[in-house]
Amino acid sequence: MSTPLSRIRNFAIVAHIDHGKSTLSDRLIQTTGGLTEREMKEQVLDSMDIERERGITIKAQTVRLDYKAKDGETYILNLMDTPGHVDFAYEVSRSLAACEGSILVVDASQGVEAQTLANVYQAIDNNHEIVPVLNKIDLPAAEPERVRQQIEDVIGLDASDAVLCSAKSGIGIDDVLEAIVTRLPAPKGDAAAPLKALLVDAWYDPYLGVVVLVRVFDGVLKAGQIVRMMQTGATYKVDKIGVFKPKATDVGELGPGEVGFLTAQIKEVADAAVGATITEEKRQTLAPLTGFKEVQPVVFCGIFPVDAADFEDLRAAVGRLRLNDASFTYEMETSAALGFGFRCGFLGLLHLEIIQERLSREFNLDLIATAPSVIYKITLIDGSTIDLHNPADMPDPIKVASIAEPWIKATILTPDEYLGAVIKLCQDRRGLQRELSYVGQRALVVYDLPLNEVVFDFYDRLKSVSKGYASFDYSIEDYRTGDLVKMTILVNAEPVDALSMLVHRGRAETRGRGMCEKMAELIRPHMFTIPIQAAIGGKIIARETVRALRKDVTAKCYGGDATRKRKLLDKQKAGKKKMREFGRVEIPQEAFIAALKMDAD
């Protein structure tokens, strides 16, 4: 039996990283009896190691809470835990589309952050009712009145009824639950209509196969039903239907307004596209849900095994990851410098870092990742256009009419004292200022920035110039033509294709010098002098030198030393595998990424 609509509430929690979203979620689960104290691991919902370590949510998840409200009725509250990072904006938007309301959690001492803004606007776009919650009110630095005012000033939400709580100390949790029941709307839907459900997320479970998270809008989803993914036309027989409480619990069916999961012999996550409409094969809905789009990667980099012999292992690993992450793409790539590897596409920088980390951690691979790149749109003289994913594939400049690059709109909130440094950073990265205003003590700056200036180390630099206080969010804007050139790095007079990149002509020299300096630091002295050069076409624009090694020899080597020295050489040989040889120069693996991080800008 499905639950009456009036006793269902579907809600998301919108918050900035560290403002206590996960703690509040856990506290809600605990209070409603989903888990005993003993079963509570810290932050149940972020179940991947990386999620827990970084304190971020990567995959959307859901928990069904049974809450007996003050009116005496028991409500089903479906909490959608949304990814908290801009890289996963589309997943966030689908999670929000599955709910009628949101709780906006704001740290009562920190106040509104750039990310809070982005997410709350998305919730508003999805017509959500929003309940502001001020968290951490028991901290000495808490200023609920100031933050309440800020929510009204900056976001324009009425915060007079904001709920005060401390998820950590368990203060005000009942008030949050009551507000969900009384202030958020119940879902609407027609149980008699043809099935219409939203595919919110999907992941691969080693025991169950692909698990699909759904929100039913109309009709009833039952085990044994043949369902159709409307966007792909694929059909599946539903094996199992259940809800997370937070443990997976089988239910016979899911009616309108309900949230749960299904399994249906789906092989890959890629077959369960987020945002798709699921309907019955026999009785299809005439009105699929709107808002579906195929997620397109925006940042690319090459990933190569340090030891060429590990290529097949890498192939298996990227295949396995793709099973579970349809937004990650890969295709084979060959580099003159690095051999066989893959050109991989990511939703953003965090996504890139996460995938790299999972490849090396979960599959135990030593990897070389090349410079992240964006997609350039190149118009050739003959009028044709190319999407360039890899600077190594850049056509001969003589044939190129123009190059366009993606720009983003960056929203940055920073304490006033770092504003100068933040503006300088944005200007240095070719930013165009669009807005500068004040939010209490803090400045809100909006800049248009070329994505290729952001992909390397913009976020790191922003954190460092603002001592960690600035927050940052972005959205992709458009493509703009720019004076872009391909810069090549030559090590010992040989170009290393994996280090070549497209840069703005005006930034080429700074970039080139930074990269040469970094490479010169990272390449240890060889027995000959190694020039490291940055070049545009045939023109050298920067140069550094790694001086030759003068002395490296064991002073004493007699009969007793032969064994030890021989074994030492064998050990060094193993270490050699972590290096790549380019011509006669050994370049350590970390050089490929480190060379791009510029300390001083």
Partner 1 sequence: MTDPAPIAVYIHWPYCSRICPYCDFNVVRDRRQPEQAALAAAIIRDLQGQAALTGPRRLVSVFFGGGTPSLMDPDWAGRIIEAARRLWPTDGPVEISLEANPTDAEAGRFAAFAAAGVQRLSLGVQSLDDAQLAFLGRNHSAAEARRAALVAGSVFPRLSIDLIYALPDQTVGGWRKALEEVIALGAEHISPYQLTIEAGTAFDRAVRRKTFAPPGPDAAADLFETTQTVLEAAGFGAYEVSNHARGAAAQSVHNLAYWRGWDYAGAGPGAHGRLTMVTGRTAIATERRVADYVSLVDQTGLGVRAPETLDAREQAVERLLLGLRVHEGVPLTELEALELDARQIEGFVADGLLLPGGGRLVATAKGRAVLDRLTHDLIR
- Identity of the residue, 539 or 556, whose beta carbon is nearer to partner 1 in the bound complex: 556
Q: Least distance to partner 1 from the beta carbon of 500, Å? A: 25
- Identity of the residue, 505 or 524, whose beta carbon is nearer to partner 1 in the bound complex: 524
Q: Least distance to partner 1 from the beta carbon of 558, Å? A: 5
Q: Least distance to partner 1 from the beta carbon of 150, Å? A: 52
- Identity of the residue, 397 or 525, whose beta carbon is nearer to partner 1 in the bound complex: 525
- 104-138 burial string, b = 16+ CB within 10 Å, else e? bbbbbbbbbbbbbbbbbebbbebebbbbbbbbbbe
- The span from the CA of 400 to the CA of 474, in Å, is 30
- Identity of the residue, 438 or 528, whose beta carbon is nearer to partner 1 in the bound complex: 528
- Identity of the residue, 398 or 553, whose beta carbon is nearer to partner 1 in the bound complex: 553
Structure tokens, 293:
């789009």
Radius of gyration (Cα) for the chain, nearest Å?
27
- Identity of the residue, 436 or 557, whose beta carbon is nearer to partner 1 in the bound complex: 557
Going by C-alpha positions, the residue among 117, 100, 89 that lies closest to residue 15 is 117
- Identity of the residue, 315 or 526, whose beta carbon is nearer to partner 1 in the bound complex: 526
Q: Least distance to partner 1 from the beta carbon of 528, Å? A: 5
Alpha helices in 1-57 (DSSP H): 21-31, 49-54
Q: How many CA atoms lie within 13 A of 115 on its CB side?
A: 26
- Identity of the residue, 156 or 525, whose beta carbon is nearer to partner 1 in the bound complex: 525
Q: Least distance to partner 1 from the beta carbon of 560, Å? A: 4
Q: Which residue has the tokens 């300390």?
A: 599
Q: Least distance to partner 1 from the beta carbon of 582, Å? A: 13
β-partners of residue 432 are 448
Determine the 3-state secondary structure of 412 from DSSP: strand
List of residues contacting partner 1 (CB under 8 A): 526-528, 549-560, 562-563, 565-566, 569, 572-573, 576, 584
Q: Least distance to partner 1 from the beta carbon of 539, Å? A: 28
- The span from the CA of 21 to the CA of 12, in Å, is 10
Q: Is 547 exposed, middle or buried (0-12, 13-18, 19+ CB in 10 A)?
A: exposed
- Identity of the residue, 538 or 559, whose beta carbon is nearer to partner 1 in the bound complex: 559
Structure tokens, 452:
């290729």
What would the DSSP string read from start to end of 310-323?
GHHHHHHHHHHHHH
Q: Give the containing element (helix H, strand E) for 513.
A: helix 505-522
3-state secondary structure 447-509: EEEEHHHHCCCHHHHHHHHCCCCCEEEEEEEEEEEECEEEEEEEECCEECHHHCEEEEHHHHH
Q: Least distance to partner 1 from the beta carbon of 138, Å? A: 47
- The span from the CA of 593 to the CA of 518, in Å, is 10
Q: Least distance to partner 1 from the beta carbon of 531, Å? A: 14
Going by C-alpha positions, the residue among 150, 229, 192 that lies closest to residue 5 is 192
Q: How many other CB atoms sit within 10 Å of the CB of residue 345?
A: 22
| CA-to-CA dists, residue 292 to 6, 36, 348, angstroms | 28, 38, 20
The sign of the torsion formed by the CA atoms of 306, 309, 311, 317 equals: negative
Q: Least distance to partner 1 from the beta carbon of 170, Å? A: 50
Q: How far is CA 470 from the centre of its chain?
A: 19
Q: Least distance to partner 1 from the beta carbon of 516, Å? A: 22
- 312 CB-near residues (< 8 Å, 6+ apart): none
Q: Least distance to partner 1 from the beta carbon of 601, Å? A: 31
Q: Least distance to partner 1 from the beta carbon of 535, Å? A: 23
- Identity of the residue, 316 or 493, whose beta carbon is nearer to partner 1 in the bound complex: 493
- Identity of the residue, 424 or 567, whose beta carbon is nearer to partner 1 in the bound complex: 567
Going by C-alpha positions, the residue among 19, 16, 56 that lies closest to residue 139 is 19
Determine the 3-state secondary structure of 428 from DSSP: helix
- Identity of the residue, 432 or 562, whose beta carbon is nearer to partner 1 in the bound complex: 562
- Identity of the residue, 144 or 588, whose beta carbon is nearer to partner 1 in the bound complex: 588
- Identity of the residue, 38 or 550, whose beta carbon is nearer to partner 1 in the bound complex: 550
Q: How many other CB atoms sit within 10 Å of the CB of residue 430?
A: 18
Q: Least distance to partner 1 from the beta carbon of 364, Å? A: 24
